[in-house]
Structure 1
Amino acid sequence: MTDETTTENFEPLTATYERLRHSADATELSEFARRPLPDRDDQAAFSRATALLEAVGGNPNTPLEDRVFLAESMPFPNVLVKLAKDPQASVRKAVAGNTDDKNWLVGRLTKDPDLEVRDAALRNPKTSWKMRLEGAQSESSDARILDFLATLGTELEPDAPKVLSSMVRRAVALNPNVSLQTLAKLENDPSPEVRHAVEKRRKERGK
């Protein structure tokens, strides 16, 4: 351990970064992933550690459970961006649910090919209303996602902007994948635009 620490202290950051980025040593990568971060007051050490976590997070040889751990717990955009591109959906889903995400990163994950990842991203409070609206309009959103979006501005986030939240609920009502249960709930929505959308949807379905 002493030799390793000494080597790391004297090895230039770029060299250590490249070594970890290409390492096939799962034990070493796991140790780096779980290593406590230095105190923020030690700016040089803290910056170095977060940079190395980017290399570890982006290495597919890092054990899956460690990549999920980083995706769930890291607040650093450089690390999360790497993990958001992970080939494993479970890692991307963990990033999508991380409330330390930047809204642009969550927004990117609302377009993920995996339904579970999109679901987690749309549930993240950092997701923009634009992305929520697009999720409510998308025919790739399933009934479960639409059930959640239908509660925004009423049951959930009651202090949300009324116009934006009602636009989302209206889009849910018009989405062909909306469940009959959610449609029935929206029939009594406080927004007349949402209620009109429900009426239109019911006519289209011949109900």
Structure 2
Amino acid sequence: MASLLFRRILVILLLVFIVAMAYSFTRPRGEVASSEDAVRFVKDDLASDPLLAAGNYLSSIFSSERQPDGTWQVTVKVTRDPHSACPRAFIRTYDLLPIRHALDKAIAQNCAHSGAIAFPEEAILQSAQLPEVKAAIANGAASCGYGLPLNPARVREYCPDADLSSLSKYASQLPAAARWLVEWKAPGFEPLRVAYDGKANRLA
């Protein structure tokens, strides 16, 4: 009798184990464990986006927050051709999971900008209109845009090979009103730097 009871307990335990394992592989993917998981899902989705298939884009996470219903919302800025004279950027807000996003909000399009500057891409577009920058572009210059005061993580995010020490020294000499710094670099030439306040007034 005891042997039969023992076998039944073993069978029950085995069934519980099988069900638990099955659940672990088939549970809804909406169970995102952390902000890092949510960001990973978003980056994977961007990597598979046909509009970004060429791969020449940067993504910058603005926020990753858990919602009251347990889902996650991630806001990301995406910049195509970020180092060109014509970066195109938009903000996309994701809800997950299942992963989906609202319509993209364009913030830099059509290779032109006028008015206040709220993003580094707009500062790049503004500076690209300058004669000296046009000459640098003709020599193959690539652009990097930074908010001021400089945030080392954001600097590396936009331009991994940026000379942070040199940029910091330069930025420390700018007027207090400076909010944006654009750097154009071409092989064999000294970097060309342009600074603006938030209203697109050139300060350096």
Q: TM-score, normalised by structure 1?
A: 0.22
Q: Which of structures 1 and 2 has the larger relative contact order (alpha carbons within 8 angstroms, sep 6+)?
A: 2
Greater strand share, 1 or 2? 2
Q: TM-score, normalised by structure 2?
A: 0.23
